[in-house]
């Protein structure tokens, strides 16, 4: 083991994640393979940066499949640069110190959590055809698989048809008039399911 390398337990300890999480990320392709030597695996310090970036991306509720896309596109230097560019996001709900039970009305923090998730969801929902970029892609534009749904403008004139737009992959969209015929809707559900499997591979 060189001086810049860690064993899995040490890496887990320093990154404050479990050994199992690290193994899972490697299995899922979020982290590269470590160096194996006999029974042991060795991890460079770059793994610490990668784990930190994964943590931040997870905090924005990006699905693993999308985090994988991002992680695989970045070199160790780029990961580092990205961490330095974007300061650590404001402490998340789950990391806030627990407020004394007696003083907080039960449910208050749950409300804050739900409202934040809903807000973040709405980032991906915009009117018309102009779409905002994703928070994770703001600094470095990067193709992402995202199935964003764009709500129709809120006040359509009665004669207008209402259309839903579902993005299956960059450059691939599905347009649906709503409400749909029931049988067609079921077929559309199947199609979206299949499309997800194809694009996420």
Partner 1 sequence: MTCNLSFGVRVNADKKFISKTRQTERILEVRVQAPRAHEQEKRPPLNLAIVLDRSGSMQGMKLEYVKKAASHVLDQLTEQDQVALVVYDDHIQVIANSMKVTHGNRVEMKRLISEITSGSMTNLGEGYLSGCREIAASARQETINRTLLLTDGLANVGITDEEVLAKHALELYNESISTSTFGVGNDFNEHLLEAMASRGGGNFYYIATPDRIPEIFLQEFNNLVGITARKVEVRLDLPPNVEWKVLGGWPAEYKEGRLHLSVGDMLTGKLQDIYIKLQVPGDDKTEELALNAKAFGQGKDSEVLEGQAMIGFQCTTQEEVEAALPDQELMQRFGEVELADEATEALKLERKGEREEAERWMRASIDRHRRHMSASQVHQYEDLSSSMAAGMSEEERKRAHWDSYNLKRRKENPEEK
Q: Which residues bind partner 1 (CB under 8 A)?
A: 9, 12-13, 18-20, 61, 63-65, 93-94, 105-111, 113-115, 117-118, 121, 147, 149, 164, 166, 176, 178-180, 182, 185-186, 188-189, 192-193, 197
In angstroms, give the least distance from the CB of 21 to partner 1: 9
Closer residue to partner 1, CB minimum distance, 78 or 115: 115
Closer residue to partner 1, CB minimum distance, 87 or 107: 107
In angstroms, give the least distance from the CB of 70 to partner 1: 15
In angstroms, give the least distance from the CB of 137 to partner 1: 17
Closer residue to partner 1, CB minimum distance, 50 or 167: 167
CA distances from 201 to 58, 69, 96, 195 (A): 20, 11, 36, 10
In angstroms, give the least distance from the CB of 179 to partner 1: 4
CB 16, CB 45: distance < 8 Å: no
Closer residue to partner 1, CB minimum distance, 26 or 188: 188
Q: What is the DSSP string of the chain?
A: --TTEEEHHHHHHHHTS-HHHHHHHHHTTSS---EEETTEEEEETHHHHHHHHHHHHHHTT--HHHHHHHHHH--HHHHHHHHHHSPPPSPPGGGSPPPPTTTSPTTHHHHHHHHHHHHHHHHT--STT--PPPGGGSSS--------EEPPPSS--TTSPPEEEEEEETTEEEEEESSPPHHHHHHHHHHHHHHHHHHT-
Closer residue to partner 1, CB minimum distance, 12 or 136: 12
In angstroms, give the least distance from the CB of 48 to partner 1: 17
Closer residue to partner 1, CB minimum distance, 75 or 193: 193
| Radius of gyration (C-alpha) of the chain in whole angstroms | 21
In angstroms, give the least distance from the CB of 72 to partner 1: 18
């Amino acid at each position: 083991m060189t001086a810049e390398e860690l064993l899995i337990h040490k890496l887990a300890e320093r990154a404050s994640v479990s050994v199992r999480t690290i193994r899972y990320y490697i299995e899922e392709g979020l982290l590269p393979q470590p160096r194996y030597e006999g029974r042991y695996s060795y991890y460079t310090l770059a793994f610490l940066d990668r784990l930190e970036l994964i943590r931040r991306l997870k905090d924005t509720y990006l699905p693993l499949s999308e985090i994988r896309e991002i992680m695989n596109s970045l070199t160790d230097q780029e990961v580092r640069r990205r961490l330095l560019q974007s300061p650590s996001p404001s402490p998340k709900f789950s990391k806030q110190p627990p407020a004394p039970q007696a003083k907080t009305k039960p449910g208050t923090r749950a409300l804050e959590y739900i409202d934040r998730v809903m807000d973040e969801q709405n980032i991906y929902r915009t009117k018309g055809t102009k779409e905002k970029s994703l928070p994770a892609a703001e600094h470095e534009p990067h193709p992402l698989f995202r199935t964003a749904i764009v709500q129709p403008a809120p006040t359509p004139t009665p004669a207008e048809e209402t259309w839903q737009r579902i993005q299956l992959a960059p450059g691939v969209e599905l347009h649906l008039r709503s409400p749909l015929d029931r049988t067609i809707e079921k077929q559309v559900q199947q199609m979206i399911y299949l499309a997800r499997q194809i694009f996420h591979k």
